[in-house]
Amino acid sequence: ASAYEPADLYRLAMVTDPVVAPDGRRVLYTRASFDISSDRRQNELWLATLDAEGRLLDQRLLVPAATSAGGAVFSPDGSRIAFVGAVAGKPQLFILALADGIARPLGTQKTAPQSLAWSPDGSRIAFGAQVDAKPLEIGGMPAKPEGATWAPAPRITEELVYRRDGAGWVTPGAAQLFVIEVATAKTTQLTSGDTDQINAGDRIEWTRDGRSLLFSAYRGADADLRANDADLWLVPAAGGAATQLTSAPGIEASAALSPDGRRIAYIGGPDAPKFYAMPELWLMDAKPGAGAVKLSAALDRPILAAEWAEDGRSVLAFYNDEGVTRVARIGLDGRVQRVEVPRIGGTRLYLPSSGGGFGYARGTFAYTSAFTDRPAGLGVARGGRQTAAIDVNAGWAAGKRAGRLEEINVKSRADGRRVQGWLLYPPDFDPAKKYPLILDIHGGPNTDYGPFFSVTHALYAARGFVVLFTNPRGSIGYGEAFANAITGAYPGQDHDDLMSAVDEVAKRPFVDGRNLFITGGSGGGVLTLWGIGKEPDKFRAAAALRPVTDWALQTYISDIGAVTWKYWLDGKAPWDDPVHYYNRSPVSLAAKWKTPTLLVTGESDFRTPIAQTEQVYGALKLRGVPARMVRLPEAPHGMGRPSQWLQSNLAVIDWFEKWRVK
Ligand X SMILES: CSCC[C@H](NC=O)C(=O)N[C@@H](C)C(=O)N[C@@H](CO)C(=O)O
Which residues contact ligand X by CB under 6 A?
227, 443-444, 447, 521-523, 560, 563, 607-608, 637
Minimum Å gap between C-beta 597 and ligand X is 18
Minimum Å gap between C-beta 400 and ligand X is 25
Cβ closest to ligand X, residue 75 vs residue 608: 608
Cβ closest to ligand X, residue 44 vs residue 440: 440
163-164 vs 168-169, strand pairing mode = antiparallel
Cβ partners under 8 Å of residue 354, min gap 6: 320, 323, 324, 325, 345, 346, 448, 450, 452, 477
Nearest-5° Cα angle at 334, 328 to 336: 30
Phi-psi sector, 89: left (phi>0), alpha (psi -120 to 50), beta:
left
Minimum Å gap between C-beta 335 and ligand X is 31
Minimum Å gap between C-beta 637 and ligand X is 5
- Residue 612, CA distances (Å) to 292, 556, 644 in order: 42, 11, 20
Minimum Å gap between C-beta 503 and ligand X is 24
Cβ closest to ligand X, residue 346 vs residue 377: 346
Minimum Å gap between C-beta 600 and ligand X is 12
CA gap 538, 530 in Å, rounded: 12
Minimum Å gap between C-beta 569 and ligand X is 13
Cβ closest to ligand X, residue 216 vs residue 447: 447
The secondary structure element, H or E, covering residue 82 is: strand 80-87
CA gap 593, 586 in Å, rounded: 10
The secondary structure element, H or E, covering residue 480 is: helix 480-483
Cβ closest to ligand X, residue 259 vs residue 273: 273
Are 452 and 354 contacting, i.e. CB atoms less than 8 angstroms apart? yes
Cβ closest to ligand X, residue 187 vs residue 353: 353
Minimum Å gap between C-beta 447 and ligand X is 5
- Residue 461, CA distances (Å) to 1, 401, 465 in order: 15, 11, 5
Cβ closest to ligand X, residue 163 vs residue 400: 163
Cβ closest to ligand X, residue 182 vs residue 349: 349
Minimum Å gap between C-beta 608 and ligand X is 6
Cβ closest to ligand X, residue 181 vs residue 271: 271
412: how many CB neighbours lie within 10 A of its CB? 19
Residue-by-residue DSSP string for 37-69: TTTEEEEEEEEEEE-TTS-EEEEEEEE-GGG--
Are 173 and 86 contacting, i.e. CB atoms less than 8 angstroms apart? no
Q: Which residue is nearest to ligand X (CB)?
A: 443
Residues in the chain, total: 662
